[in-house]
Structure 1
Amino acid sequence: MLTLVEKGKSFWRDEEGLGTLEMIMIIAVLIAVVLLFKDKIQEVVENLIDIAGEKSRKVFD
């Protein structure tokens, strides 16, 4: 029974693969943020494209 407890503690302290888990968590949070604010992000990008288009028209006119 003691070896089972020791193996459990060893498994808990093992940090191998922790980087992968952190990356998966970061990606999941980013996807959630994008899904929550999709409409606002789309609006901001469209406004930036419109502003860039207007400024480029001024340069070429």
Structure 2
Amino acid sequence: MVFNINIWRIFHMKTLIKSRKNEVGATAIEYGLIAALISVGIIGTVSAVGTNLSNVFGAVSTHLSSAVSSANSGS
């Protein structure tokens, strides 16, 4: 009888340990998915801002070039 109870306890402990390992693995996968989703959002935002920023710097460069040309021709 004592032997059967000890085997049951060992089996129960192993089952608890396995389920805990499964929870840790599932949590790691969830964190990985969250990190991937955040990185996709960051990449999309940076791409959109990068394109707009490139257009702004292009316009500033054009205006500066025309201002320098006007200043040089006026001298």
Question: TM-score band (shorter)?
Answer: 0.3 to 0.5
TM-score, structure 2 length as denominator? 0.39
**If each structure's helix is expressed as a fraction of its own residues, which one has the higher value?**
2
- TM-score, with structure 1 as normaliser: 0.44
Higher gyration radius (CA) = 2
- Which of 1 and 2 has higher RCO (CA within 8 Å, sep 6+)? 1
